[in-house]
């Protein structure tokens, strides 16, 4: 049996794959590269880890299982017919993304961004900054999306005694009722037909002046021009953005220099042990595969999740 590891990792992670795989497996490391010769090797493999180019999949007949290196499914939704099992990393990033969500909210509320800038200048401000700080205590929070990120975020907020409402595709129609009293709106939405552009100007205009907007899902969920406008005009307190319409964020984007925006550069899913735990996840799923058991995080591309 041959396994193709497409994702580029550090050498220590490749060694972790080797150590974890029985000798019966032949393993090929593509190191993130795309070439005709690598594609040919891929086409001889039974199992693949990583997000290979879409056209490799269209011509594969040997592949029995593809484990994605992501929660997101794009561009694989475009596959109309496929014979292999497909699994993703759904839930894998929940804790990490939720922690950056809390870090971002607290950074804005407790002015960590401003204190960092002052530190760069050896500038003591002390007491006057105190009256610009906010408390998360008992804040009214609306979380869009009831996946792992949404539910983990709700859990992290519990110690702060927040009044948290989680809206999913079934309850999203209630959003307008909540927005005028929402302190923090957190989008954790995946990209689907229904979520693209969901957070439009009408919704954004309903937020109160002290509201904070957080997006740790996909940039496509929000009308970015409308968001930039209300941030420029200081119609809301600010925004914490892990994701944007275009990534990397273009140098000319006004988001870089708005003082009420904190950009976390799509880092929220990461942590030091991220790669090592991906190997553990894969090897665990491989054990299920060997026994003919159902795989963890099986994806149905027709349903889209």
Name the site residues for a copy of itself (rule: CB under 8 A): 95-96, 99-100, 102-104, 106-107, 109-113, 115-120, 122, 124-127, 129-137, 155-160, 247-249, 251, 256-257, 261-275
Q: In the bound complex, what is the minimum distance in angstroms from residue 100's beta carbon to a copy of itself?
A: 5
Of the pair 15, 155, the CB lying nearest a copy of itself is at 155
Nearer CB in complex with a copy of itself: 90/278: 278
Residue among 78 and 155 whose Cβ is closer to a copy of itself: 155
Instruction: Note whether 9 and 50 are within 8 A (CB).
Output: no
Residue closer to a copy of itself by CB (options 17, 65) is 17
The least distance separating a copy of itself from the CB of residue 45, rounded to whole angstroms, comes to 25
Whole-number minimum distance, CB 237 to a copy of itself, in Å?
11
CA atoms within a 13 Å half-sphere pointing along the CA-CB vector of 264:
27
Write down the least CB distance from residue 157 to a copy of itself, Å: 7
DSSP conformation letters of the chain: -EEEE-S---HHHHHHHHHHS-TT-EEEE-TT---HHHHHHHTT-SEEES---HHHHHT-SS--EEE-SSS--TTGGG-----SEEE--TTTTHHHHHHHHHHHHHHHHTTHHHHHHHHHTT----GGGGGG----TT-EEEEE--SHHHHHHHHHHHTTT-EEEEE-TTTGGGHHHHGGG-SEEEE-----TTTTT-B-HHHHHTS-TT-EEEE-S-GGGB-HHHHHHHHHTT-SSEEEES--SSSSPPTT-GGGG-TTEEE-TT-TT--TTHHHHHHHHHHHHHHHHHTTPPPTTB--TTTT-
Give whichever of 61 and 120 is closer to a copy of itself, judged by the CB atom. Answer: 120
Q: For residues 63 and 139, which CB has a smaller minimum distance to a copy of itself in the complex?
A: 139
The CB-of-161 to a copy of itself minimum distance in angstroms stands at: 9
Q: In whole angstroms, how close is the CB of 101 to a copy of itself at the nearest point?
A: 9
> Given the complex with a copy of itself, which of 60 and 164 has the nearer CB atom?
164
CA distances from 151 to 98, 167, 218 (A): 9, 11, 17
Q: How far is the CB of 243 from a copy of itself (least distance, A)?
A: 11
């Amino acid at each position: 049996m041959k396994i193709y590891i497409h994702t580029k990792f550090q050498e220590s992670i490749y060694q972790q794959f080797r150590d974890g795989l029985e000798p019966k497996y032949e393993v090929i490391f593509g190191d993130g590269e795309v070439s005709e010769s690598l594609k040919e090797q891929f086409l001889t493999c039974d199992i693949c880890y990583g997000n290979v180019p879409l056209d490799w999949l269209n011509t594969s007949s040997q592949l029995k299982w593809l484990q994605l290196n992501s929660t997101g499914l794009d561009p694989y939704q475009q596959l109309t017919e496929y014979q292999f099992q497909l699994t993703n990393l759904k839930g894998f990033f929940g804790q990490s993304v939720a922690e950056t969500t809390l870090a971002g909210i607290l950074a804005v509320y407790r002015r960590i961004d401003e204190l960092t800038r002052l530190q760069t200048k050896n500038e003591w401000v002390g007491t006057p900054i105190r009256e610009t700080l906010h408390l998360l205590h008992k804040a009214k929070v609306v979380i869009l999306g009831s996946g792992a990120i949404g539910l983990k975020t709700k859990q992290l907020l519990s110690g702060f005694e927040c009044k948290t409402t989680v809206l999913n595709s079934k309850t999203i129609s209630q959003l307008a009722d909540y927005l005028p009293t929402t302190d923090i709106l957190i989008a954790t939405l995946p990209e689907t037909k229904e979520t693209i552009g969901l957070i439009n100007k009408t919704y954004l205009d309903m937020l109160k002046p002290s509201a904070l907007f957080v997006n740790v899902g996909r940039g496509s969920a929000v009308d970015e021009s409308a968001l930039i406008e209300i941030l420029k005009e200081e119609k809301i307190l600010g925004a914490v953005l892990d994701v944007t319409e275009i990534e990397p964020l273009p140098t000319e984007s006004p988001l870089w220099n708005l003082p009420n925006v904190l950009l976390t550069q799509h880092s929220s899913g990461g942590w030091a042990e991220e790669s090592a735990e991906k190997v553990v996840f894969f090897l665990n799923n491989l054990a299920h595969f060997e026994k003919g058991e159902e795989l963890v995080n099986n994806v149905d591309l027709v349903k889209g999740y």
